[in-house]
């Protein structure tokens, strides 16, 4: 996580990447009432991370995202992940990762503003309703490791004063030193982050307000605001059962930010939390492959190879963006492989060729099915096959020239084509299912039945 620390009441507590045109034959494709909508289960298509670090302040972001929703629907997005949506200590300037009042979506004048950085209560309600009308689910970013913005109070567990007196204007989930570490239950917690007051999840009171109560954060977000799923921030800071209990109390999709490149560790956390995890193992293997010019790195261990149903794959996000060379090749990888791909807002809207991104999303949603057979990898070339119906063969070429390769497919005596438009070949597979395909320099092709 990125946090910008500034001095407030003598305590530092403030938060917490020219592509050529695609050829013409490319394939594209606070009382409220929860709106009625009909969305597919999150994970069936592609997720959009609908923000980046330091999006424009001034309360305009919810309306900006709302204006993008119809086009995202047409592109094949099935869920949008929003930043932390409630009032944080840094008020109109906060990205939300320094949470103060979990029930203030921009309707209480506190922390220097009524609106959040992103907008007002009515604007986020309108955004969620518009997403649902377009068949898109909405994922809330949940920050429950730490809090920020409490007043100073004498703390008998530290022998001094701590910033742990939380009296939010919503009147919901007031907190004191008993609800943070250290307290009468624990002397400390390994999940403490950046000096922020660290919530104690073993406290029944904390559990009740997070997910047990009828007006808990989990149930209010789901039943009143209309959120459909959860992205949990900094889950290394608390035990996996917290995510499990939160998700089970309210339902919905859940994914955790367990920032670790070890696929076995990610698998362990996902199993314990009964949730998905961002596939940092895949991210780091792609970084080493595409930044280090060694596509054999893609043979490495990843969560998507261990449990594809729990893997949310990504090329960049608001915290990390290390794959700045050959980034479209990385997107070609996650859009053709198993796992649930997440697209970064700036990659899609600003930095990469949107036509090519839409093409890859279309390929993912229409061709990328079944398990994976890894066919070939060296420093410059990588080939894999998805074995579903119709399935595909992806050929990534990171060399400086066109490459050709014979590959084994699942199709006998069948005409195939490249659905990216990068190759004009339409070869016929042999009776033994083998065929020669090609890929452009620093590019990719994706082959399937014509």
Strand runs labelled E in 83-218: 87-88, 99-101, 137-142, 151-155, 160-165, 180-181, 198-199
How many residues make up the chain in this entry?
Answer: 450
Q: Is the link from the previous residue into 360 a cis peptide, with omega within 30 of 0?
A: no
DSSP conformation letters of 311-349: EEEES--SS-----SSHHHHHHHHHHSSSEEEEEHHIII
Q: How would you write the pLDDT of the chain (450 residues) with one tens digit per residue?
A: 443 333 333 333 333 333 333 333 344 434 333 344 445 578 989 999 999 999 999 999 999 999 999 999 999 999 999 999 999 999 999 999 999 999 999 999 999 999 999 999 999 999 999 999 999 999 999 999 999 999 999 999 999 999 999 999 999 999 999 999 999 998 877 777 777 999 999 999 999 999 999 999 999 999 999 999 999 999 999 999 999 999 999 999 999 999 999 999 999 999 999 999 999 999 999 999 999 999 999 999 999 999 999 999 999 999 999 999 999 999 999 999 999 999 999 999 999 999 999 999 999 999 999 999 999 999 999 999 999 999 999 999 999 999 999 999 999 999 999 999 999 999 999 999 999 999 999 999 999 999
Separation of alpha carbons 136 and 80, rounded Å = 7
Residue with tokens 């909508």: 37
Q: What is the pLDDT of residue 405?
A: 98
Q: Is 349 a catalytic residue?
A: no
Q: What is the pLDDT of residue 40?
A: 58
Separation of alpha carbons 122 and 315, rounded Å = 32
Q: Is 233 a catalytic residue?
A: yes
Contact 250, 228 (CB under 8 A): no
CB count within 10 Å of CB 286 equals: 28
Q: Which long-range contacts (CB under 8 A, 24 or more apart) does 51-55 make?
A: 51/81, 51/82, 51/83, 51/318, 51/345, 52/318, 52/344, 52/345, 52/346, 53/2, 53/95, 53/318, 53/319, 54/95, 55/83, 55/95, 55/117, 55/118
Q: Would you say 145 is a known binding-site residue?
A: yes
Question: What pTM was computed for the model?
Answer: 0.91
Catalytic residue (one of 228, 257, 267, 349)? 257
Separation of alpha carbons 146 and 148, rounded Å = 7
Question: What are 448's strand-pairing partners?
Answer: 417
Q: Delineate the domains of the chain, giving CATH numbers in brackets.
A: 28-368 (3.20.20.80), 373-449 (2.60.40.1180)
Q: Would you say 299 is a known binding-site residue?
A: no
CB count within 10 Å of CB 376 equals: 14
Distances (CA, A) of 194 to 96, 260, 330, 376: 15, 19, 32, 44
Catalytic residue (one of 78, 98, 179, 233)? 233
Distances (CA, A) of 305 to 43, 281, 413: 17, 10, 30
């Amino acid at each position: 996580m990125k946090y910008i620390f500034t001095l407030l009441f003598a305590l530092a507590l403030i938060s917490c990447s020219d592509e050529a045109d695609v050829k013409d034959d490319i394939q594209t494709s606070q009382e409220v009432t929860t709106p009625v909508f009909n969305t597919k289960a999150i994970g069936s298509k592609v997720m959009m991370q609908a923000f980046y670090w330091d999006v424009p302040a001034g309360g305009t972001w919810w309306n900006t995202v709302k204006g993008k929703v119809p086009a995202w629907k047409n592109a094949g997005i099935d869920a949008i992940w929003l930043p932390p949506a409630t009032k944080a200590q840094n008020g109109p300037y906060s990205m939300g990762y320094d949470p103060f009042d979990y029930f203030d979506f921009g309707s209480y004048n506190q922390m220097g503003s009524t609106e959040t950085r992103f907008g007002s209560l009515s604007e986020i309600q309108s955004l969620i309703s518009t997403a649902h009308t377009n068949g898109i689910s909405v994922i809330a970013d949940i920050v429950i490791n730490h809090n920020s913005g409490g007043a100073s109070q004498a703390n008998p567990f530290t022998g001094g004063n701590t910033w742990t007196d939380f009296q939010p204007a919503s009147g919901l989930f007031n907190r004191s030193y008993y609800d943070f570490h250290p307290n009468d239950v624990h002397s400390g917690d390994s999940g403490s982050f950046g000096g922020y007051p660290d919530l104690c999840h073993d406290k029944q009171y904390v559990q009740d307000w997070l997910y047990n109560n009828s007006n808990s954060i989990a149930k209010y977000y789901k039943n009143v605001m209309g959120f459909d799923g959860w992205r949990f921030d900094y889950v290394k800071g608390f035990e996996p059962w917290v995510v499990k209990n939160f998700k089970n109390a309210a339902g919905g999709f859940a994914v955790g930010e367990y920032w670790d490149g070890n696929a076995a560790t990610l698998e362990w956390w996902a199993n314990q939390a009964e949730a998905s995890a961002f596939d940092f193992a895949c991210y780091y293997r792609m970084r080493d492959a595409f930044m280090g010019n060694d596509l054999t790195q893609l043979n490495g261990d990843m969560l998507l190879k261990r449990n594809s149903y729990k893997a949310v794959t990504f090329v960049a996000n608001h915290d990390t963006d290390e794959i700045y060379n050959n980034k479209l090749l990385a997107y070609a990888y996650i859009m053709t492989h198993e796992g649930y791909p997440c697209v970064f807002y700036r990659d899609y809207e600003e930095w990469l060729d949107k036509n090519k991104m839409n093409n890859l999303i279309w390929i993912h949603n229409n061709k990328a099915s079944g398990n994976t057979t890894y066919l070939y990898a060296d420093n410059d070339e990588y080939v894999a096959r998805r074995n579903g119906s119709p399935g595909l063969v992806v050929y990534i070429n990171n060399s400086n020239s066109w490459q050709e390769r014979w590959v084994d497919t699942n199709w006998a005596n069948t005409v195939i084509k490249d659905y990216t438009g990068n190759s004009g070949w339409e070869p016929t597979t042999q009776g033994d299912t083998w065929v020669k395909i090609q890929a452009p320099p620093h590019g990719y092709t994706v082959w399937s039945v014509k």
